[in-house]
Amino acid sequence: MDIFLMLLINGLAEGALIFLMASGLSIILGLMGVVNFSHGTLFLWGGYLFVWAYTNSNSFILGIASAVIGTFILGALLEVLFVRKTYGKVTAQILITLGLMIVFTDLVRLIWGATPLVVARPDFLAGAWRFGGAVIVHYRIFLIAVGITVAIGIQLLLTKTKIGMIIRAGVQRSDMVEALGINIKIYFTLVFTGGAALAGLGGALFAPLVGGISSGAGMSNQVLAFIVVVIGGMGSFIGSAIGSVFLGLMGALIAWYVPQLAIVANVTLMAIVLTFKPSGLFGLAVKK
């Protein structure tokens, strides 16, 4: 029983991290039809900015803030300078975000070096509870709380505000929204940078969990987010939330019982979902 509790907490915490990336990716994809291959790089920048600010200032809050603000600005730059030039051209979008991924990942190595940076959890989250054989790390509970807060926040934003209404309408038919006299381009920028900031937050929270960050972290987390987006259905916010939790829980269970299968399991899951429901579990059935 205590083992199950531990695995549940681990899985949910993992899911919360994946969710921070996948939700942004999914909404960007749904609204703009852009699959952002540089999303993992933004995650990486968040992680490095956090470690840099945190070790220099010794303030956890300041570290998180600089990661979120830094990736927000970076996201805005990428959108305005590059991604905007390729709207409506699917292939060019994929290619250009791939190129940006390479450049900005290598910039991280240029600035902070190729060796992984080490970072400790802040004191107030460093502890752990023990129940019999299970260890529950405080930091993971914090992650779950952040994940739930962000999820509720986005859900409220999407369903209760005018901005959210326009975004939801844009996911369905962006040309129709434009025909109503709304400048959808501004919302594109907004969603892209918002997604970037979420990815940055994910990176910032990821670094203390694993005790450091290396330049390969962006890619491995991006792949998890892609799998969630494919499973959950492209453009579906609920789908990405449920997909993240599911992937996190499955990852925790498999890592505990059959660690050899950990890598293959995700792809098997993806293949099964694609075989039986190609549009994803919560797919909108809109082909972009």
**Footprint on this chain of other proteins (rule: CB under 8 A):** 29, 33, 35, 37, 82, 85-86, 90-92, 94-96, 98-103, 105-107, 109-110, 219-220, 223, 226-227, 229-230, 234, 263-264, 266-267, 270-271, 274-275, 278-279, 287-288
- Residue 59 or 220 having the CB closest to other proteins: 220
In this structure, the dihedral spanned by the alpha carbons of residues 232, 237, 242 and 244, taken in order and rounded to 10 degrees, is 80
- Residue 187 or 226 having the CB closest to other proteins: 226
Q: What are phi and psi of 216, to 5 degrees?
A: -85, -10
- Residue 155 or 279 having the CB closest to other proteins: 279
d(CA 178, CA 63): 39
CB of 35 to other proteins, least distance (A): 5
Collect all residues with Cβ–Cβ distance below 8 Å to 82 and sequence separation of at least 6. 96, 97, 100
CB of 184 to other proteins, least distance (A): 19
d(CA 252, CA 97): 31
- Residue 85 or 173 having the CB closest to other proteins: 85
d(CA 38, CA 203): 13
Q: Which of 135, 136, 137, 139 is nearest to 122 (CA)?
A: 139
d(CA 222, CA 253): 21
CB of 9 to other proteins, least distance (A): 25
CB of 281 to other proteins, least distance (A): 13
CB of 90 to other proteins, least distance (A): 6
- Residue 19 or 226 having the CB closest to other proteins: 226
- Residue 126 or 272 having the CB closest to other proteins: 272
CB of 23 to other proteins, least distance (A): 16
- Residue 190 or 219 having the CB closest to other proteins: 219
CB of 231 to other proteins, least distance (A): 11
